[in-house]
Structure formats: C-alpha cells, structure tokens
Copies of this chain bind each other. A is one copy, B any other.
Amino acid sequence: MPLRQAIERSQGWHRRLTVPQFTVVTGLLVILLGTLLLATPLCSSSKVGLWEALFTATSAITVTGLSIIDVGADLTTAGQLVLAMMILAGGLGLMAITTFLQGFVVKGTGLRRRLDRGQTLDEFGVGGVGSTFRGIAATAALVILVGALVLYGFGFSDIPDRGERLWASVFHSISAYNNAGFGLWSDSLERYHDNVLVNAVVMVLIVMGGLGWRVTSDLASQGVRRGRRRLSLHTRLVLRTTLLLVVFGTLGLALTEWLNRGEVFIGMAWRERWMTALFESVTARTAGFTTVPFSLENITDSGTLLLMALMFIGASPGGTGGGIKTTTVAALMAATRSTMRGRDAVVIRNREIPDKVVLRALGITVASLLFVLAMALLLSIASNLNGAEPFTFLEMLFTCISAFATVGLDLGVTEQLGRFGQAVLMLGMFVGRLGILLLLSAIWEVMTREQIHIHRQNRIGYPREDLYV
C-alpha cells in the first residue's frame, strides 16, 4: 500500500473518533509517552522505575498530585520539566475539551464534523472554536506568568539561588493554575504556612483555574466593556457556589478543628489559623497543596468528613479541577429546594432548569459515589487479604476520593499501599479526571447507531407509570 494511502487511512481513523473517544485515546497515549520519558536516566534517579514513572505520569496528566516519589529529589530538572508539560497538557487539554463539549449534548458525531459544525460555533462567541482554544491558552499563559513573577519577586524570596527560585516559581504557578498540587518540596507548601503572599497567590491561581475559561472570560469581557451586560447564569452560579463552598469550608474547618480540638491548628496565632482554614478549604477543591501536615491523628473525624465532601464536590466544569463539580451540587441543591417547596420545576436564580440537567447531575453524583466506594472497598479487601491492616476505612476512602476527584491530598496512604492499591488509585484518577459520563459516552458511541435505534424504540415502547416515594 502506498504511503499516502496509509496516511490517509490513519487520518481517517483519527477523524472517525468522537471527542470523548479522542480524549480517552489521547490521554492514554500521553500517559504512555510520559511514563517512558520519566523512566529514562535523563529525567529521574534510579529510584524511579517504570511503575513509579507510570504512577507519576498518570498523576500528572490527571493533575492529581498523589505521588509515590519525591518530585524534588527523584526527578532531574529535565524530569520536572516533563512533569510540568504533562500537567499543562492534562490541565489545559481537558479544560479545552470540556469547554468545547459544554455547548451541546454528546451524541455520536465525529470530531471533525463537530469542529466544523457552524451551529455550535455560537457557543464559543464570534471567533468560533479556534479562538476559544487560543483564548484558553492565552489566559493560562498570562495568569501563570503573573503568578510566577509574583512568586519569584516576593513569595519565594527566601530561596537564594536565582535559577532555583525562578524554576520553583514557574513550576508552582503551573501546578497551582492547573489544580495539580505537585510541588518541588516533599512537604508541599508547609514551609510557607505563615507567608500571606504565597498563600494568597496560590489560592488565586487555584481558584482562577478552577472556575473554568467560560467564567473567567465572561468576567473579563464584562470588565472590559464596563457595560450593564448581565453575567450568564452559568457564571453567576459558578461564582456563587464557589464562594459559598470556600466560606462553608473555612468556617467548617474552623468549627471542627478548633471547637473539636483537632491538633492541626495548635500553636498558631488566630490570623494564621484563619488563613490556614481558608487555604485548606480552597485547596481541598481540588488543588491538593497543603500548608499543614494532615493525618487522622491530628484532624477530627468531622474535619475529615468535611474535607472529603469538599474534595468530592471539587471545582467547576470546564476548569482545571476535578470532582463532581460545583454546578452539579448547585443543581442538586436547587432541586431539593424546589421539592421542599412543593414545586415541580427546578428554579435557580429565577431561571427554570430543565429536568434532564438535574437528572444528569444526579447520575454523575450517584455514579461517582458508587465508584469511589467500590475503590475503597477494593483497597480495603486487598489490604486485609495481605494480612496487614495499616489503614482504617476512612483513610482508604479519603485517599480514593482524593484520587477520583484528582485532589492529591494524602494522609500518608499512597506510598505504602502496594501495587494493586496503587493501580486502583491510577484507575480512579483516570476515570475521575475524564468523568464517568464522558468515559461512558466514549464507550456508548462505539455502538452509536444501535443505541439511537434502541433509544427510539424505548421512547415509544415504555408506558409511563407512577411510583410512590
């Protein structure tokens, strides 16, 4: 077969992929590439074998930040550069894809056709898809650059070596904006726990990345125009929910850890306590940096459950963070409020939300919950069959949520988990990062036509019947 035909055929294969399928395949390929790169002596010390490289690559591309190696010590500068590139690819790549997919329901259309389809371009403003992708990249570059400059100039001023300081600033800025939570130091950001500037810059980067491009560009364009144009429902809802969750998390941690005598805040001044509570509230959704050492010994049960809830909820759709997303929770809460008021329609901020959006939010939440519980059960059984019982179920569940919501907070479990457990975590990171719905639609779309056929049949075939609840 001539070369040209072979290329065309392979391009054809590529074009036949739907967006979700494209995402899964690309993700797996990048993990493979990253693993091979990270395992070479150029990138890492002899401590990093193929397994460690695979885990690190998976954690990086899913912007989780769970790690079984010491990034600062076990990776060379080249290795850290590769890591940063993978974080960027994973964070911004999925940001672009989810922003793109937000515009319409995912249903059996090839990538090319979808990219070309005129009717969907309205979703992305005048410029269409290309300008959206460029906007995402430009916003990221700008924010990361400013973040790195501030960290370099004021935040990390205790680092004497300029090159080292610059790289630390850039790396942490990339890691924070992409909600990745990877750091160059084995104690995350604990050494800056009382540094207001570092806390503030990292929090701003995390939140901006977590809001998603739609929201930041909506805000930016309003700022530029200075007009009376209202922000979209999506933007308002994301901002409101994010603010509520940050405040709720901060007050909650203050409540559970001060009143309940957790040991995390012991020896801190009041101002630092509030700053730490705020930082942990922000970082739990879903960056994964930390300025205090966490373990079940020094936080209370209720604090652990609160962190688990924040991690599970995560950031906003179309952002760099993970979790079931703020809008999902907002939709569930709105549905609950409407039900409690005896209304049939779900209303958010004077807008009626279609039932199918609520059903989708419900499906995402329940499926994610079941997936996380299944992960924890697997870890639990595995660790008990091994004979040792080093961790409680709560610690396992915490770690699984941390992986699934791509948070990266660790109670000290990941490293000691054994390969089976680590494999479960890797699967969790991958599934959690893509989202169960995206992953399933990648699978369903393989059988698109049959699906549609069955679907239609069902719509006609099933009689409606009421149910008592």
A375: interface (CB < 8 Å): no
A36: interface (CB < 8 Å): no
Taking a contact as CB atoms closer than 8 A, the residue among B359, B364, B389, B459 that contacts A260 in the complex is B389
Q: Which residues of B contact A333 (CB under 8 A)?
A: 366
Smallest CB–CB gap between A392 and chain B, Å? 5
Given contacts A358-B359, A384-B261, whether A465 and B339 have CB atoms under 8 Å apart is no
Candidate in A107, A260, A340, A363 with the most chain B CB atoms within 10 angstroms: A363
Say whether B381 contacts A362, CB under 8 Å.
Answer: no
Say whether A467 contacts B363, CB under 8 Å.
Answer: no
A376–B300 CA distance with the chains assembled, in angstroms: 14
Chain A 217-243 against B: per-residue CB contact (8 Å), 1 yes, 0 no?
Answer: 000000000000000011001000000
User: From residue 311 to 358 of chain A, which have CB atoms closer than 8 A to chain B?
Assistant: 317-318, 325, 327-328, 331-333, 335-348, 350-358
A194: interface (CB < 8 Å): no
Taking a contact as CB atoms closer than 8 A, the residue among B301, B357, B366 that contacts A392 in the complex is B301
User: From residue 435 to 457 of chain A, which have CB atoms closer than 8 A to chain B?
Assistant: 436-437, 440-441, 444, 451, 455
Say whether A340 contacts B363, CB under 8 Å.
Answer: yes
Please count how many residues in chain A sit with their CB below 8 Å of the partner chain's CB atoms.
84
Q: Which residues of B contact A335 (CB under 8 A)?
A: 359, 362-363, 366
A270: interface (CB < 8 Å): no
Write the chain B residue with the least CB distance to A345.
Answer: B459
A451–B343 CA distance with the chains assembled, in angstroms: 10
Q: Which residues of B contact A440 (CB under 8 A)?
A: 340-342
A345–B354 CA distance with the chains assembled, in angstroms: 12
Q: Is the interface of A mostly helix, strand, loop or mixed?
A: helix
Q: Which residues of B contact A466 (CB under 8 A)?
A: 353-354, 357
Chain A 362-390 against B: per-residue CB contact (8 Å), 1 yes, 0 no?
Answer: 11101100100000110011001100010
Q: Which residues of B contact A102 (CB under 8 A)?
A: 468
Taking a contact as CB atoms closer than 8 A, the residue among B301, B340, B367, B465 that contacts A353 in the complex is B465
Say whether A367 contacts B336, CB under 8 Å.
Answer: yes
Q: Which residues of B contact A350 (CB under 8 A)?
A: 461-463
Write the chain B residue with the least CB distance to A366.
Answer: B336
Given contacts A331-B469, A348-B467, A467-B348, whether A451 and B342 have CB atoms under 8 Å apart is yes
Q: Which residues of B contact A351 (CB under 8 A)?
A: 462-465
Taking a contact as CB atoms closer than 8 A, the residue among B256, B359, B377, B444 that contacts A346 in the complex is B359
User: From residue 410 to 461 of chain A, which have CB atoms closer than 8 A to chain B?
Assistant: 436-437, 440-441, 444, 451, 455, 458-459, 461
Say whether A467 contacts B359, CB under 8 Å.
Answer: no
